[in-house]
Chain A
Amino acid sequence: MTLFQRIKKILYALLMIAAAIILVALPDDNALDIVLFFVSIGFAIKGIKDIVFYFVMARHMVGGKMILFQGVVVFDFAMFTGTLTGVPQFYVMIYLISIHAFSGVIEVLRARESRRTVDGFWLMKMSHGIINIILALMCIIYIRDTSTAVTIYSAGLIYSAIMRIISAFRRTSFILIE
C-alpha cells in the first residue's frame, strides 16, 4: 500500500467517524438527511467510476464483469439513497442498517475467499464482518427506540472506521521483482 492509499483510507475513516458524531449529536431528520446526501454522492461517484472503468479497461479482464456488476449495484444504491430525504427516520434507519449488514456479509464472504487461497490475514476480515452483522441485528432489535438504534449504528460506524485505520497501518507484502 502506498502512502497516498494509506492517507486515503485514513481520511475515509475520519469521514465515517464524523458521520457517526453528527448522527449522535443531532438526532433528528436533518442529521440523517446530511448523512444520506453524502452516502448518495459517495455511492454515485464509486458506481460511475466502476462502470466507466469496466468499459474502458476491465471489459477484457478475467473477472472484469464483476466490476461492472458492482458498479451498477452501487450506482443503484446511490439513486435509491438520494430518494430517501423526507422519508420517516424509522425507514431510513432500516435502510442504513441494511447497508451496514450487507457490508458485513460481503466482508465475511471476502474473508472466506481469502481463507481458501491465502494463508493468514483472513481472521481480521472475518471478525470485522461478523461484528458488523451483529451490530446491524442489534439495531433492528432496538429499532422502535430510534435514538438507541442510532447510537448503536454510530458505534458500528466508528468500529468500521477504526478497522480501516488499523488496516491502513498494516504492513503489506510487496514482491521484490528481480
Chain B
Amino acid sequence: MQMDFHYYATYCAAFLAGYSHEESLDIAYSAQFVDECSRTLLAKIKGPLRAATTQLQLEMMDARTDPVGRQDITRIWSSFHFLPRDLYASKPHCSRLYLNKYRLICGPNGDLAVKTVELAKGRPLQSVGIAMHVLADTWAHANFAGTPSLVINNTNHVFYELFPEEDGFREKLITFRHTTSTPDDLENSIYTNSLYQRNENTIMNLGHGRAGHLPDYSFVRYRYLPAWGDYGEIIKDNPSDYMKAFTQMIRAMKYIRGEEKVFEKDVYDTEASGPWRDRIRETIEKRQLSACDDWRALGEELSGHTIDVFSTDRYFEEYMQSSKDEKDETFLGRFILGAIAHKGMVISEIQRSKNMLAGVARAGFFKRSGA
C-alpha cells in the first residue's frame, strides 16, 4: 500500500472509528511513518537502530543475505509489511527449510493480526498507527512473504489484469519491464517488476517485488500463479480487499478505543462507513497511480478540518532536542517504543513456532518498550 491508504485512508478510518481530528492525524502519521523509519533515518535523528520498520532501496542493495543478514531482513519485513497469516501452516512432504518460509506467507485475518491489534490497545496513538499499517498490509501484500525466497515469492509469465465487463471480466496479459525510472503505464497494463533471479535468497526475491507494484494499487484486479501455490491460480481482487482493509481498520480502532469488547477475525465495521460507501468504493476503484487527492478530500469532508500534507521530518526537531530522559515521551519516542514492542512480539511468535528465520528477540530488545 502507498501513502494514499496508509496516511489519508487511515485518517478517514480513524475519524470514522471515533477519534478526533488531531488524534486521527497522529494515527495516520504513525501509520505512514512505518514506511519511512529506516536505519538511515534513525541514524540521522540518533534513534535506536533496532526500531527500524523499513529498509531503504540503498540499504537493501547492500543488505547481507547470509543467515544472520536474512534474519535482519525478515524481522523488519515480516513484522511490519508482510505479517504471516499462519505460523503453523502445514504442507505435506516438504522440508523444514521450505516449511519455515511457507509459514511466513502474509495474509489477512491471522492470529498475528489479532495479536497486533491487541498489543496496540492501551498504548499511545503511535502504536495504533503502527498496528493499522500492519493490518492494512496483510490485505495488500497477501500471498507474498517478508523474507527473500524464490520458491515462495516468484511469479511467472501467467499474469493477467482483469477488467470488469458485463457479467464477467476481460483479461489482458500484463507486460513487465525492469525500468524503475519509468512510471507504470496503467493504460497499456505495463508495470515495473524486479528481475528474475535464480538465487533463492537474493533480495530481489523479497516480498512482492516480482509482481511489481500491483499489490499496492487499490483499483487493480489480476490473476497469476504464485510460486508456492502448486499450480493453482490466484485471483487478487484489490478493490474488494482494500474495502475490507478499510472497514477492518475501523473495527480494530473501535476495539482499541474500548467501543468493542473483542477484536475478532473476519469482522468488519460497515456501519460507520455506510453513508460513505459509494464514495469510498469510487476512490478505491479509480485507475490512478496515487489516490492521495481523493482520500484527502474525503477525509476533509468527514472531519471538516484540513489534513496536513505528510512530511517525514515533522517531529524530528522535537525528538532530537529532547534530553535522553524525555525522548520516550516525544512523538517519535513513542513511535520507536511502539515499533520495538510490535517487532519483539512478532519475532517471539515466529520463534515460538520453532522457526528461526527471524532470529531471537532477546530480553534487552523489549527493554523500555513495555511489551
Task: Please name the residue on chain A nearest to B211 by beta carbon.
Answer: A175
- The residues of B that contact A175 with a CB separation of less than 8 Å are 180, 192-194, 207-209, 212-213
Selected contact of B179 from candidates A56, A57, A120, CB within 8 Å: A120
Q: Taking the complex as formed, is B40 at the interface, i.e. its CB lies under 8 A from any CB of chain A?
A: no
Interface residues of B in 89-147 (CB under 8 A from A): 91, 94-95, 97-98, 101-102, 141
**Quick check: A178 and B6 within 8 Å, CB to CB?**
yes
Contact A177:B202 (CB < 8 A) given known A119-B179, A120-B178: no
**Quick check: B62 and A57 within 8 Å, CB to CB?**
no
State the CA gap A173–B193 with chains docked (Å).
7
**Quick check: B3 and A172 within 8 Å, CB to CB?**
no
Q: Taking the complex as formed, is B200 at the interface, i.e. its CB lies under 8 A from any CB of chain A?
A: yes
- The residues of A that contact B175 with a CB separation of less than 8 Å are 117-119
Task: Please name the residue on chain B nearest to A116 by beta carbon.
Answer: B157
Contact A178:B62 (CB < 8 A) given known A57-B95, A118-B175: no
**Quick check: A62 and B229 within 8 Å, CB to CB?**
yes
- The residues of B that contact A25 with a CB separation of less than 8 Å are none
Contact A177:B81 (CB < 8 A) given known A56-B95, A61-B227: yes
Binary flags per residue of A155-178, CB closer than 8 Å to B gives 1, else 0: 000000000000000001111111
**Quick check: A173 and B213 within 8 Å, CB to CB?**
no
A175 to chain B minimum Cβ distance, whole angstroms, is: 4
- The residues of A that contact B57 with a CB separation of less than 8 Å are 174, 176
Selected contact of A62 from candidates B156, B159, B208, B209, CB within 8 Å: B156
Q: Is the interface on chain B under 10, 10 to 19, 20 to 34, or 35 or more residues?
A: 35 or more
Q: Taking the complex as formed, is A3 at the interface, i.e. its CB lies under 8 A from any CB of chain B?
A: yes
**Quick check: B203 and A2 within 8 Å, CB to CB?**
yes
State the CA gap A100–B194 with chains docked (Å).
28
Binary flags per residue of B211-238, CB closer than 8 Å to A gives 1, else 0: 0110010000000011111110000000
Contact A173:B178 (CB < 8 A) given known A60-B228, A62-B226: yes
Binary flags per residue of A52-69, CB closer than 8 Å to B gives 1, else 0: 010111111111100100
- The residues of A that contact B2 with a CB separation of less than 8 Å are 178
Task: Please name the residue on chain B nearest to A56 by beta carbon.
Answer: B95
Interface centre among B61, B203, B229 (most CB of A within 10 A): B61
- The residues of B that contact A56 with a CB separation of less than 8 Å are 95, 97-98
Selected contact of B176 from candidates A59, A62, A117, CB within 8 Å: A117
**Quick check: B204 and A121 within 8 Å, CB to CB?**
no
**Quick check: A120 and B177 within 8 Å, CB to CB?**
yes
A167 to chain B minimum Cβ distance, whole angstroms, is: 11
Contact A118:B97 (CB < 8 A) given known A57-B200, A173-B193, A173-B194: no
- The residues of B that contact A121 with a CB separation of less than 8 Å are 177-178
Q: Taking the complex as formed, is B186 at the interface, i.e. its CB lies under 8 A from any CB of chain A?
A: no
**Quick check: B98 and A57 within 8 Å, CB to CB?**
yes
Give the 5 A-B CB pairs with smallest separation, nearest first: A119-B177, A173-B178, A175-B209, A61-B151, A173-B180
Interface residues of B (CB under 8 A from A): 1-3, 6, 35, 57, 60-65, 77, 81, 91, 94-95, 97-98, 101-102, 141, 150-151, 154, 156-157, 159, 175-180, 190, 192-195, 197-200, 202-204, 206-209, 212-213, 216, 225-231
Q: 7 A-B Cβ contacts within 8 A?
A: A63-B227, A117-B175, A119-B177, A174-B60, A174-B180, A175-B193, A177-B209
